[in-house]
Structure 1
Amino acid sequence: MQTEASRTPPPRAEGLKHERVAAVLDREIRAGLVRRGARLPGEVELARRFGVSRNTVRTALAQLTEDGLISTRTGKGSFVIFDGRPLDGRLGWTHSPADPDLEVELRTIRIAHEHTSHRSDRTEKLIVIERLQLTKSKPIAWERSWIPVLEPLRDLPRRGLVSDSIALTLTRAGLHPDHCQQRLRGHTLDADEAKLLKRRTGAWFLRTERTSWTADDRFAEYAECLLDPSYFELTLDYGTA
C-alpha cells in the first residue's frame, strides 16, 4: 500500500521539470526548428505538451530569456531572438555578439542587504547583487542589481542565486518581470570603476540602467551595467502594436 510520504515528490521535482522543459525548447531553438522571430506556443499549450503546471512553464521561459534565446512581449507572448550563433548561458544578463566563440566567466562579487535611495527619493532596504563578466581574467562588464527583500529572498546573501541567474531567482520567489524601462548612454570610468574593471580612469564604457516590473506593476529589479564597447553592441527588437 502506498503511503502519503511515498506519494510526495522529491524536493527538486519542480526544478527538474522546468529544467527539462527549458532543455527541450533550447534544443529546438538552437536546431532551427523554431526560427528567429517565431512566436512560441502559449503557456497553456506548453503546459499541456509537457504535462506540467503553468508556473513550471514560466520558470522555463525565464531561463530561456536569461540565456538570450527568447524575448517576452506583454500581451503578445514569447518570441525567438536567437540568431543561430552559439550562446553561453553563463553570461547571465547579456551576451557578446562581437565574438560568439568568446569564453566568458560570470563571477558574483557580493550579495548583501543594503539601504539605498537609488530607485527612489526615499531610502529603502533592498538586496544588492554585484557581478563581473571576464574573459581570460579580463573584466569586460560589471553589473549591480537591486531586488526587493521578499520573504523567499531574505537569506539570498547566504545561499546565493539559483543557477547563477537573477531571473530564475526572482521567478522562484514568485516575481515574474513583465515589462521594463532601459536607458543607454556613454560613460567614462571613475577611479573606483577603473580599478574594478582594470582600465585607466576616464576609459569609455557603455552604461545601461534598467528597471523591471511585474504585470501588476510591482517592482522586480533595478540594474546598472557598465559594458566594454569592444565586446558589446545594442540590439533593439520592435514589435507591431
Structure 2
Amino acid sequence: MTGVPLKHQRISRILAREIRSGRRPAGEQLPGEHALAQRFGVSRTTVRAALAELSEEGLITTRTGKGSYVLFDGGPLDDGLGRPCALVLQGVETRVRTLAVRETHDSGLADELALEKNAFVCVERTRELVADGTVVSYERSYLPPLSVIRELPAQGLGQDSLAEVLLRAGLRPDHGEQRVSGRRIDAHEAELLRRTPGDWFLDTRRTSRAADGSFVEHVVSLLDPDHFQLTLAFG
C-alpha cells in the first residue's frame, strides 16, 4: 500500500527518533542485530537494512566486528573556529595526551603559509577514549613563537588548552581555511595511534589567522573516520 513504510524503514525511524531526542547519546553502542531483531520481531536482514539507513543519514557508524555506535548528539558539530571536520563523540569522555612541545624550524611550512620567519613552537597531541583507550586522533599544532608561547617547551601546557594559550598570547582566530583528504598511515604514525600501518585516516590541514590576517595556528591532524565526520554549513 502506498505510503506505508517498509519494516526496515519503520525500525530506522524509531531508532532515529531515539537518537535525535538524546535518549541514545553520542558514542552509545546500539544493541546487537540479534537483540534488535527480537525487539522488533523481524529478521536480522531487516535490521541490517534499518542500520544501513541510519548510517546513510549520518546518525550511526558501524564498525566491522564491533557493532553500531551513535554519531549524532543533537548539537552543532563545531568547535568555535569553524572547523568543518569535527569530533562527533561529544558527550563521550575523552582525554588528551601531550606527546611533545618543542621549538622547531620549518622553511617549507613557512613558505606555504607565506611567513617571513620559519620558527614555530610545535605541540604534538593524541586524543583517546577513556572507556577503552582507543586513540582517535593525532595532531601537530604549529604556533608562532611569541613570548608566552615560547615558554611552553620548558613549562608545558599544564591544565591549559591551546585555545587558552593563544588568548593569553593575544592571538584570536578570526578566519582561515582547512583542507581534508584521506590516506593510509605510515609505521611511525601507526605506532602513535596504536594502529596498523596502512590503516585509513582522515588527513586535515587547518590554518587560522587573526582579523588582520596575521598567523595564529596551523594544525595537521590524523582523524579516525569512525569518530570524525565532515560537516559543512552553508546559506
Normalising by the residue count of structure 1, what TM-score does the alignment of the two structures yield? 0.57
Unaligned 5+ residue runs, structure 1? Answer: 1-82
- Aligned pair count reads 153
- Percent identical: 41
Q: Is residue 168 from structure 1 mapped to residue 164 from structure 2 by the alignment?
A: yes
Identify which of structures 1 and 2 has the higher relative contact order when contacts are C-alpha pairs closer than 8 Å and 6+ apart.
Answer: 2
Amino acid corresponding to residue 185 of structure 1 in structure 2: S
CA contact (8 A) 1:188 1:202 kept: yes
What corresponds to 2:194 in structure 1?
198
CA RMSD of aligned residues (A): 2.7
Q: Is residue 126 from structure 1 mapped to residue 83 from structure 2 by the alignment?
A: no
CA contact (8 A) 2:86 2:230 kept: no
Secondary structure of the structure 2 residue equivalent to 1:111 = strand
Shift of the 123–193 alpha-carbon distance from structure 1 to 2, 3 Å rule, reads farther
Cα distance between partner residues in 2 of 1:190 and 1:182? 22
What corresponds to 1:105 in structure 2?
95
Tell which structure's C-alpha radius of gyration is larger.
Answer: 2
CA contact (8 A) 1:191 1:201 kept: yes
CA contact (8 A) 1:144 1:225 kept: yes
What corresponds to 2:20 in structure 1?
none
Q: Is residue 96 from structure 1 mapped to residue 90 from structure 2 by the alignment?
A: no
1:197 to partner: Cα distance: 0.7
Q: Is residue 179 from structure 1 mapped to residue 165 from structure 2 by the alignment?
A: no
CA contact (8 A) 1:210 1:222 kept: yes
1:120 to partner: Cα distance: 2.7
Secondary structure of the structure 1 residue equivalent to 2:207 = strand
1:100 to partner: Cα distance: 4.1
CA contact (8 A) 1:96 1:231 kept: yes
- Among residues 106, 115, 119, which one is paired with 1:116 in the alignment? 106
Amino acid corresponding to residue 169 of structure 2 in structure 1: A
Normalising by the residue count of structure 2, what TM-score does the alignment of the two structures yield? 0.59
- Among residues 202, 206, 227, which one is paired with 2:223 in the alignment? 227
Secondary structure of the structure 2 residue equivalent to 1:193 = helix
